[in-house]
Structure 1
Amino acid sequence: MGLTLDRCLSLMCVIMILLPSLCFSQNYYVSSRATYYGSPDCFGTPTGACGYKDYGSTVNGGEVTGVSKLFKNGTGCGACYQVRCKYSKHCSEDGVKVVVTDHGEGDNTDFVLSARAYNKLALQGQAEILFSYGVVDIEYKRISCQYPGYNLMFKVHEHSRFPNYLALVAIYQAGVSEITAVELWQEDCQEWRGMRRAYGAVWDMPNPPQGAINLRFQVSGSKWVQLKSLIPSEWKAGATYNTAIQLD
């Protein structure tokens, strides 16, 4: 039996009432724990599981993190979170914004922060106390990544070997969207060929198409974004190619 007009209008009103609260719920903080890892310069590590290399150690001023369950088999790479600790005498109100560049687990922790990021959790003069704790109670929420002055870029991973093996990694990915698939156009077959998620944020393909490469990627499992001739025919390992776009 179909819905009457009155019932349809009532249902629409309920949806309109619920939508703001559903959107607002994304701002809720989730309780967890965090620790840190050491490095000579207090930046991130260039050997992180996301495959970002040097970008992964210095992006966001080195305020980066490894995550456990939020890694999501690599889909969580590049996500941004606001993290703040819960000890009022020692912790800053806003905490720190971090970018996921690695997989890592501690003592029942969701975050393993770089030393620079962990330091930002503290009030001025209180960082030494937090470092002495080793693990702290925190709360976190997902936030939009922002890279002013940068477009989304695809970097040819250093492990690539022209022309037989191509691996790509997206960097400076703004917004809250996740890249869930990457495909390259095969001109002679007139079809899109899917790249494999090799690990972390790295997508690869043996025997990639010859010539300038058309690329498309899927955002958060639905929208496809197509980029014509993004990768030149004579691509090189380590080179970075600007998409001239940015995600929301």
Structure 2
Amino acid sequence: MASHLQKSWRLSLFCSLMVLLGMVRLSTGYATTHFKPSRWNSAHATFYGDDSASETMGGACGYGNLFNNGYGTNTAALSTVLFNNGYGCGSCYQIMCVGSKWCNKGRYGHGSTSITVTATNLCPPNWSQDSNAGGWCNPPRVHFDLSMPAFKQLAFWKAGIVPVQYRRVPCARKGGIRFSFQGNNYWLLASIMNVGGGGDIARIWVKGTRTGWISMSHNWGASYQAFSQLGGQCLSFKIQSYSTRETIVAYDVVPAYWSVGMTYQARVNFR
């Protein structure tokens, strides 16, 4: 019994030191593919909330406070077809206002201004309105409901709605992928944030110091869950991009003394 406790203590100490020292390794055996911008497509954009962007906090992706978690105000709620049951969370889009008198002019007064936004929320359908008259996010319509500060970079806010051109672009993130925890010792719910590259997530696996790799099921948005006893173990995560299928591993990113309500950051990210 004493030997078992000493072994568990040594494992906890070892993985905690790994975290403190930042000894997180990039996985090998996976092809590294760089996310390429897509072709330009047509859509429309509106906005919600006010200049404070307070109404954009939280949202269907589960990113919580967008200022604290690095997303700021350049964010968008996606229509159902782009949101893709939460697999569109974290994806980045370059958007440009076109063909409207309300569009802001680009640099030196030529062309149109473009911005890059991150998908952090769902713009739900409004079945009581026609898709061309208020039901902007009704399927199969492609639509971006921007924060007000983001919309005002593209066009005069009184326009309400403007035609845009958009394309998927790589997400440039500072720092590593973040894991925000909820749940308990037997049920782990992790919200995955600050993902670079494609920005989106297809699958997540978690591994404790006393387990093999456990596939986490998709809960909602960018949140994944594991029904396993993981308390008191140092945790590693394997993350697969939805867009590129590129996979990276953040080894020993979470110390054995982890707790719910905390956010942990890896040293690796997609590029």
TM-score (norm 1): 0.76
| Residue aligned with 2:149, SS | helix
Question: Whole-Å Cα distance in 2 between the matches of residues 78 and 230 of structure 1?
Answer: 21
**1:42/1:187 Cα in 2 relative to 1: closer, same or farther (>3 Å)?**
closer
After TM superposition, give the deviation of residue 42 of structure 1 in Å: 2.6
The answer to whether the Cα contact below 8 Å between 1:166 and 1:205 also exists between their aligned partners in 2 is yes
Give the aligned partner of residue 120 of structure 2: 101
Give the aligned partner of residue 22 of structure 2: none
Give the aligned partner of residue 178 of structure 2: 153
Q: Structure 2: any 5+ residue segments left out of the alignment?
A: 1-34, 105-111, 125-134
**1:95/1:40 Cα in 2 relative to 1: closer, same or farther (>3 Å)?**
closer
Please state which structure has a larger fraction of its residues in helix: 1
**1:87/1:178 Cα in 2 relative to 1: closer, same or farther (>3 Å)?**
same
Q: 1:142 aligns with which of 157, 168, 177?
A: 168
Matched, 1:36 2:47: yes
| Residue aligned with 1:132, SS | helix
- Larger relative contact order (C-alpha < 8 A, sep ≥ 6)? 2
**1:98-135 Cα deviation digits (max 9, x unpaired):** 1100010442551111111111102xxxx2xxx33322
**1:165/1:50 Cα in 2 relative to 1: closer, same or farther (>3 Å)?**
same
Give the aligned partner of residue 76 of structure 1: 88
For this pair of structures, how many residues does the alignment match?
Answer: 213
After TM superposition, give the deviation of residue 173 of structure 1 in Å: 1.2
Give the aligned partner of residue 6 of structure 1: none
**1:169-227 Cα deviation digits (max 9, x unpaired):** 22111122532111122565x53211111000001123342311222222337443222
Give the aligned partner of residue 226 of structure 2: 205
Q: How does 1:19-98 map to 2 (within 5 A)?
A: 26-39=37-50, 41-43=52-54, 45-55=56-66, 59-68=70-79, 69-87=81-99, 89-92=101-104, 93-98=112-117
Q: 1:234 aligns with which of 249, 252, 257?
A: 257
Question: Whole-Å Cα distance in 1 between the matches of residues 53 and 199 of structure 2?
Answer: 28
Give the aligned partner of residue 158 of structure 2: 132
Moved more, 176-185 or 218-227: 218-227
**1:21-47 Cα deviation digits (max 9, x unpaired):** xx98x4421001111111471355223
Q: Percent identity?
A: 26
The answer to whether the Cα contact below 8 Å between 1:184 and 1:209 also exists between their aligned partners in 2 is no
Question: Whole-Å Cα distance in 2 between the matches of residues 96 and 79 of structure 1?
Answer: 14
| Residue aligned with 1:49, SS | coil
Question: Whole-Å Cα distance in 2 between the matches of residues 215 and 176 of structure 1?
Answer: 18
| Residue aligned with 1:246, SS | coil
Question: Letter of the aligned partner of 1:64 in structure 2?
Answer: T
Question: Whole-Å Cα distance in 1 between the matches of residues 177 and 161 of structure 2?
Answer: 34
TM-score (norm 2): 0.70
